[in-house]
Amino acid sequence: MKKKFNLINPQYAPRSWFVVFNTLFFIFLMLAMIVPIVKIFCDSMVNETVYGLKLLPMTVDKETGKQIWFNTIAYKRIITDPALYWPFVISVYTTLMTTFLGLLISTLGAYVLLQKDMPGVKIFSYMLLFTMIFNGGLIPTFLVMKNLGLLDSLWAVMLPMSMNVYNLVLMRSFFEGIPYSLFEAAEIDGCTPMGIFIKIVLPLSKAALASIGLFFAVAAWSEYFHYVMYIKSANKYNFQYKLRDLFQDKQEASEGVDINVNTLKSAAVVVSIVPFMFIYPFCQKYFMTGVTMGAVKE
């Protein structure tokens, strides 16, 4: 009968100490990620400037001395602002389109690189990997967008974000985990390469599509820099850009409502991450499978 791990037993002490250290390390890592989120949430629920670490959404009214819990005035300011409705639609549209284009380019590119008998496949792979280390830089990229006539267009935001070599390489590693015998059997049955891609590769890669799609979606939803660089029309700015405008100026942010600017900033952060806090639990099963798929080759 196998003995249980015991700190007192020297035979199992090294492994037991490793388990203890591993547990403490992950507890520390969990707190390091959760505490800042809790602090931001609590700061968004108190209409005052908070100094230090405050982990309870409670403040004291200076006039009455009563305790006020969960002050939602900052959230009402954001939700009821009509200037944020169209930017929210822009963010949803660009997120969906970027995710679709990113998955389309990544899956097709990964499937092409999977064809080992294709002439020059290694050269193409090295060229793509080269771009992960070196790129043209900010000014050449801007000039390319200008020459293509994409300035002040949402395509200038969506196209660069949908071309991600790292996600393409991840997708290729996922595809390599599919048994090659399935491809051979499909070829014997007369299936074309595109038919194999649509009928075999994609259905078996749902976990990979979910995980990489989540990468694209989070990046597109949180995007800010491309809008500053390429977008000039006010009606094409996204939700993140307009949220920042709320607290650019204290007087403008507090116009008509007595809201602390720091409270408004914290509420804006919470609102920006809420959509994926609801989406992630539904994708977690596929995401956890997807990030480990292709890690072991048989």
Please report, for the chain, the start and end positions of each structural domain, with discontinuous segments joined by +: 10-71, 83-292
Instruction: Check: CB of residue 221 under 8 Å from CB of residue 95.
Output: yes
pLDDT tens digit sequence for 246-259: 766 444 444 455 77
Q: How many C-beta atoms surround the C-beta of residue 27 within 10 A?
A: 10
pLDDT tens for 14-45 read: 668 888 888 899 999 988 888 888 888 888 88
In contact, 15 and 5? CB cutoff 8 Å: yes
Q: What is the pTM of this model?
A: 0.78
CA angle 86, 93, 240 (to 5 degrees): 60
Q: Give the model confidence (pLDDT) of 164-187 as tens digits.
A: 888 898 888 888 888 888 888 888
Q: Which stretches in the chain have pLDDT values below 50?
A: 1, 5, 7, 249-255, 294-298
Sign of the alpha-carbon torsion through 111, 117, 121, 122: positive
CATH code, 83-292: 1.10.3720.10
Q: Which residues contact 219 (CB under 8 A, 6 or more apart)?
A: 98, 161
Task: Give the closest residue to 73 by CA, choosing from 269, 254, 228.
Answer: 254
